[in-house]
């Protein structure tokens, strides 16, 4: 349990959110993660995943498609209602 009050925690989150989003967007680890995860999802959705986990796409088509999808993904802040829904999801998720 946090030693900060709920009000203080929310104000601190509101103050830091834009800087945190900028930090995340500037970090190459996120881009690498996105590209890998998007590639996995495309393989899974299009049914071209081999038993060893590799994908049978033509390399240039796959890369072009993955980049086109990545260009459509944006990290942004959500309103309070959405934030509560997301927080509730993570609080109730069983690991």
Is residue 89 within 8 A of residue 73, CB to CB? The reply is: no
Q: How confident is the model at residue 78 (pLDDT cuts 50, 70, 90)?
A: confident
Question: 2-53 pLDDT, tens per residue?
Answer: 688 888 988 998 899 999 989 988 999 988 888 888 988 888 888 667 788 7
Q: Which residues pair with 70 in a beta bridge?
A: none
Backbone angles phi, psi at 9, to 5 degrees: -60, -45
Question: Within its chain, how far is the Cα of 86 from the centroid?
Answer: 13
Q: Can you give the pLDDT at residue 87?
A: 60
CB atoms within 10 A of CB 6: 8
- At which residue do the structure tokens 């309070």 appear? 80
Domain ranges of the chain: 6-92
Is residue 75 within 8 A of residue 67, CB to CB? The reply is: no
């Amino acid at each position: 349990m946090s030693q900060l009050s709920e009000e203080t925690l929310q104000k601190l989150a509101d103050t830091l959110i834009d800087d945190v989003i900028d930090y995340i967007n500037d970090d190459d680890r996120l881009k690498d993660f996105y590209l890998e995860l998007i590639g996995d999802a495309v393989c899974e959705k299009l049914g071209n995943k081999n038993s060893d986990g590799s994908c049978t796409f033509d390399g240039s088509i796959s890369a072009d498609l993955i980049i086109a999808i990545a260009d459509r993904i944006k990290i942004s802040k959500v309103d309070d209602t959405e934030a509560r829904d997301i927080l509730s999801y993570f609080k109730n998720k069983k690991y």
